[in-house]
Chain A
Amino acid sequence: MSDPLSGIPSGLRYFFGREAQVRRTIEDTALAVFAGWSYEEITTPTIDYYSLFEQGMGSEASNSFRFMDGDGKLLALRPDVTSGVARAAVTLLNRRERPLRLWYVAPVFRQHAKSQAEFRRELTQIGCELFGVSGGPAELEILLIAGEIFDRLGLRDDFVITLNDVEVFNGVVENLKLDSTQRAAMRELVDSRNATDLERLVSQFASVEESRRFADLTQLSGKGDVLDAARQVIMNERSRAALDRLERVWEIITSLNLTDRFEIDLGDVSTLDYYTALNFKIYLKGAGVRVGSGGRYDHLTAKLGKAEPAIGFVIDLDALTDVMLARDGQEPEAQAEATMLRVTSNDSLTTFQEAIAARWRGERVLISPQEVKR
């Protein structure tokens, strides 16, 4: 039998050497970008009330490590950071001037691996949130910040941000008068781009021709022309308003000559219970799963006590590190030459006086252990 203390629970790990250096570089890069856009750092508690995360994440919160507080209240190991930041914004920082701009880097935990490819149970999120600004300008700001981080990491040509507005889907569901079971089924089929089964499902409510055109729509991924194609098929007002919102964001992206970093993806409905309008995902060459996601979540602030516009994103530091390491190799960065200092048995005082002096000159010192007397 193996020693139980030598093992480590599944989905958890150590970081050291080159990998630790790369993580630090990514963090430093991101925080410089956040600072450059006038964001302020916030650290939220690692342990918090489970009910907070339930409000913030919906059913996904049940995948958190939970335990009881002394007074019987249910606590959870933070499964996301946004919930805590949003609560701080509408409570403690309620009187602060808006817009309120906050960023964080923090580990989050989940009890079970999300999927085979997303096996980590502790992962570090780098993210930011913008409170008090509604509409296009906030959306553009957030998208540009996310893009700049990847640019500055030297990944300019290797990432794409997919844009959607959850209200496109919600409008269709409302228009077809689907109940919650049918809605869940439809969401799953749209999310997996399963056009065949989607067509079958929708044909119970619409003509064969309409169903086929709608199903084909979920497979489109592309630029502004996707919005035109969608307008040919989707007629309800709620969805059209969402398509117009996307169009306005897309127009600015086009004017800024940034269309090569963005795609419209109307099939991205995986985070429906969380976001209220724009939602986006960040994909990076070399990573099989998304490395970031974000969107507008105006409902959450209302649930936490004060309705106000909120938008933000997170980047998965671990997934991003994997890609950077695969690119740059595992060799640790060379360090500056060290001043070698040896501790001898009769005079450690001099050694450390020299060490202190060298440190204040900005040198790296390496203290060698006592010489072995033969």
Chain B
Amino acid sequence: MSQLTIAIAKGRLQFDALELLKRIGINLTDATETSRRLSVEDQTGEYRFLFAKPGDVAVYVEHGVADCGIVGRDVLLETNADVLQPLDLTIGRCRMVVAALAAAPGNGHGMLKVATKYPGIATRHFGSRGQPVEIIQLSGSVELAPVLGLADCIVDLVETGRTLRENGLAVVEEIFSSTARLISNRASYQLKAESMMKLLDAVRCAVREGVKADD
């Protein structure tokens, strides 16, 4: 069996993803989890792990330097990465929404100003309904834009909605809901089929059990 390299999105998802892998017997030693090394092997040597920014996980997997990855659906939709996404891990649940100041949801003009970290998703969403938009691409604290009058609304990822509320914003509509996906490189899926199927089967079982346990 060949070793699989798995890229994991740092941050929001990382803890839950490693917990899930632990449930199927893939353990990283505590030392490696807390160390600053960005590439580590599990205890059996069957898997190698890379830790990368969410958007980069899709890049590594698309190029095949990582065979698999764990990353949110939001990232896949934004980057349009050409990868396989065989499993919904049902962790890291959140929503991609349009939000605006509770007091003034639209400006009534023909052109909507949209501030977002997700220009691709925002463009496609408003484009699909024929709404002309001006996309203002920001890299963080998007909620500020409507407050300061830079944009009419924002397109952003929401987990609890607390940041929105605290800045006087309300959800206008939900574009999609997102969960973490196990993704795979197209070539690795065929060339390392045996290892890949073993991992997929194990994770699929763990996910189905996890869903039952939650009910």
Verify if A139 is at the interface (C-beta below 8 Å from B).
no
Chain A residue with Cβ nearest B200: A219
A219-B200, A265-B190 as given contacts; A289 in contact with B64, CB under 8 Å = yes
Is the Cβ of B187 less than 8 Å from the Cβ of A288?
yes
Q: How far is the CA of A193 from the CA of B86 in the complex (A)?
A: 5
Determine if B63 and A116 form an interchain contact, defined as CB atoms under 8 angstroms apart.
yes
| Residues A285 and B191 in contact in the complex (CB < 8 Å), given A193-B84, A196-B87 | yes
**CA of A195 to CA of B203 in the docked complex: distance in angstroms?**
14
Assess whether B195 is interfacial by the CB under 8 Å rule: no
- Taking the nearest CB of chain A, how far is it from the CB of B127, in angstroms? 16
Question: CB-nearest residue of chain B relative to A291?
Answer: B187
Q: Which among A117, A162, A196, A197 is the interface contact of B190 at CB below 8 angstroms?
A: A162
In the complex, chain B residues whose CB is within 8 Å of the CB of A281: 190
Q: Closest chain A residue to B65 by CB distance?
A: A288
Q: B47 at interface (Cβ–Cβ under 8 A)?
A: no
Q: How far is the CA of A111 from the CA of B31 in the complex (A)?
A: 48
B178 to chain A, nearest CB (A): 12
Q: Chain A CB within 10 Å — which of B81, B185, B190 has the most?
A: B190
Q: Among the listed A118, A221, A289, A290, which residue makes an inter-chain contact with B193, where contact means beta carbons less than 8 Å apart?
A: A221
Contact at B64–A287, with CB atoms within 8 Å? yes
Q: What are the residues of chain B within 8 A of A290 when measuring CB–CB?
A: 186-187
Closest residue of A by beta carbon distance from B66? A288
Q: Is B16 an interface residue (CB 8 A)?
A: no
Q: Among A117, A193, A194, A219, point to the contact of B62 (Cβ < 8 A).
A: A117
Contact B190 A288 (CB under 8 A): no
Proximity bits, A89-127, B CB within 8 Å = 1, else 0: 000000000000000000000000011111000000000
A-chain residues with CB within 8 Å of residue B80 when the two chains form the complex: 115
Does A284 touch B at the CB level, under 8 Å? yes
- A285 proximity list for chain B (CB < 8 A): 191
Q: Are A221 and B187 in contact (CB under 8 A)?
A: no
**Known A-B contacts A115-B62, A193-B85; A263 and B193 likewise in contact (beta carbons under 8 Å):** yes
- Chain B residue with Cβ nearest A189: B85
A292–B193 CA distance with the chains assembled, in angstroms = 18
* Cβ–Cβ < 8 Å partners of B84 in chain A: 192-193
Given A116-B62, A289-B187, A194–B85 Cβ distance below 8 Å? Answer: yes
Q: How far is the CA of A117 from the CA of B79 in the complex (A)?
A: 12
B: residues with CB less than 8 A from A are 59, 62-65, 79-88, 181, 184-191, 193, 197, 200
Q: Can you list 18 contacts pairing A with B, beta carbon distance less than 8 Å?
A: A115-B82, A116-B59, A116-B81, A116-B82, A117-B63, A117-B64, A118-B82, A192-B85, A193-B84, A194-B181, A222-B197, A263-B190, A281-B190, A283-B186, A287-B64, A288-B65, A288-B185, A288-B187
